[in-house]
Copies of this chain bind each other. A is one copy, B any other.
Amino acid sequence: MDSKHGRPCSIAAALSFLGDRWALLAVREVIFGNHTFSEIVRNTGAPRDRVAARLKSLVAAGVLEQRQYQEHPPRYDYHLTQAGRELVPVLSALRAWGDKWVVEDPPLSVTHHGHPVRPRVICETCGGPVHEDEVEKTSNAADWDLAGPVSVSKNSKKPPAAPKGSAGR
């Protein structure tokens, strides 16, 4: 159950909700202020049923919430929850990367206080930049370290000093 599904990881967990082709684009549209189903369909370019399924799963995941904005024909639109609002840094990072490495000219300009936003990740505790060669990562999962699954006594994933000849069968 451990090595079967890969490393336990928040990134993988997040991607299980957001790793779909359209999920983040739907969130993008809601962030942009386009809240209705039709707007999301039109602006993402996704098939209607995909948008319907994705909005449903995003609501179930707690990223979006439905609000009824009209009674007579009951109509709902979609709004960000707090979890959804906190996806903005993810989308900013993706946009910055795409702007730099995929497209030539950014299709969208983001400014604040009169100048372009240049997103950068810092550590809120110390206020300093996060250099990849200074960070230290430690796995909290029992059976995993950075290199992969570690031998779990009874689980013979990799007996390091195994007596080669007499192993297993």
Known: A9-B107, A11-B95, A45-B5. A134 touches B122 (CB 8 A): no
Instruction: Give every chain B residue within 8 A of A94 (Cβ-Cβ).
Output: 10-11, 14-15, 18, 90
Q: Which residues of B contact A103 (CB under 8 A)?
A: 10, 13
How far is A34 from B33 in the complex, measured between Cα atoms in Å? 41
Interchain CA distance A13-B95 in the complex, whole Å: 9
Annotate A99-132 by CB proximity to B: 1 below 8 A, 0 otherwise: 1111101111111110111111111111010111
How many copies of this protein are present in the complex? 2
Bound state CA distance, A8 and B39, in angstroms?
A: 15
User: Which residues of A, 23-67, contact B by the 8 Å Cβ criterion?
Assistant: 24-25, 28-29, 31-34, 39, 42-46, 62
Question: A41 CB to closest chain B CB, in angstroms?
Answer: 9
Q: Is the CB of B119 within 8 A of A130?
A: yes
In the bound complex, residues from chain B placing their C-beta under 8 Å from that of A119 are 89, 121-124, 130
Residues of B within 8 A of A39 (CB): 147-148
Q: Please, which residues of chain B bring their CB within 8 A of the CB of A139?
A: 107-109
A17–B103 Cα gap in the complex (Å)? 12
Chain B residues lying within 8 Å of A109, measured Cβ to Cβ, are 137-140
Contact A6 B45 (CB under 8 A): yes
> A34–B157 Cα gap in the complex (Å)?
15
